[in-house]
Amino acid sequence: MVISNIIGGLGNQMFQYAAGRALSLERSESLHLDVTGFNGYGLHQGFELSRVFMCPSEIA
């Protein structure tokens, strides 16, 4: 299992997801996203990947 820690704005989230996805495909393992960093995080709109891109994501 690959767990990618997602934090920051949409651009950072896209990069973190892509890096985790590439690693999970390379290793033939599932990808899970850790979004706990958004608890109390007020700088951006929060976790946006699933809303903007409707990408499949398992929350760790």
- Token look-up 């896209």 returns 14
HSE on the CB side for 43, CA within 13 Å?
Answer: 7
Tokens 């929060």 label which residue?
Answer: 46
Q: What is the pTM of this model?
A: 0.84
- In the block, which residue shows the tokens 């950072």? 12
In which domain, by residue range, is 28 found? 2-59
Structure token digits, residue 9: 């704005």
pLDDT at 30: 94
pLDDT for 42-60, tens place per residue? 777 888 888 888 877 788 7
CA 29/CA 50 separation, integer angstroms: 20
Structurally, how many domains does the chain consist of?
1
